[in-house]
Amino acid sequence: DTAVSQTPKYLVTQMGNDKSIKCEQNLGHDTMYWYKQDSKKFLKIMFSYNNKELIINETVPNRFSPKSPDKAHLNLHINSLELGDSAVYFCASSQRAGRDSPLHFGNGTRLTVT
Amino acid sequence: KNEVEQSPQNLTAQEGEFITINCSYSVGISALHWLQQHPGGGIVSLFMLSSGKKKHGRLIATINIQEKHSSLHITASHPRDSAVYICAVRSVDSNYQLIWGAGTKLIIKP
């Protein structure tokens, strides 16, 4: 049973296309996140949702739009893909937002924009 | 200068060696996380600690709040320990967001 699952694992697409990455967690957690891991391996927070409400929205292009239909799902939609969007995107969840909750990660989606 | 610094960046050791990975931070924190990223890409949470020491199997994590420093130790290292180990701190100065280190790439040779 995968606790945090994201699909697809690999995504290769051309510049200008629109694509979505899906994430689901079956842990009953209240908070979900999207992280981008760049070529230097730093993990950068993009968005965080707590009970379907956006609580963190870092400076990312508005081509990136998160959607949380319920607290078990947080999908990431990307419009007009650019070469610089190529990275590994990780979904994560934690029991509650903030201080002392361990993170549970999905396996990542490697996005390649050509 | 990053708010979370890890050392070394890369570490290669022989099977059986005692491994130490260090993490220093410059912000006030409520907790520090150690995570492991396997070559396949998956990230697993190893420890979350705010004081003292935690042990899980062959892994030991310590933190010194006064010195703003944490160490991750691996005893009797094994090739399957080869991974990137990442330190992250939950910063009280940044609305409790996580600040990530760049990771330490560990290779254990048989």
Tell me, what amino acid is at B109? K
Residue B45 pairs in a beta bridge with: B35
What is the per-residue pLDDT across A61-76, written as a single tens digit (0 to 9) for each? 889 999 999 989 999 9
pLDDT for residue A98: 60
- Which of B4, B98, B99 is the best residue to mutate to test the A interface, defined by the most A CB atoms within 10 Å of its own CB? B98
Q: Write down the residue that tokens 């739009």 correspond to.
A: A65
What is the per-residue pLDDT across A2-51, written as a single tens digit (0 to 9) for each? 699 999 999 999 999 999 999 999 999 999 999 999 877 778 889 888 88
Instruction: Evaluate if residue B1 carries a pLDDT over 70.
Output: no
User: Is B88 in Cβ contact with A100 (below 8 Å)?
Assistant: no
In SS3 terms, A19-71 reads as EEEEEEECCCCCEEEEEEECCCCCEEEEEEEECCEEEEECCCCCCEEEEEEEC
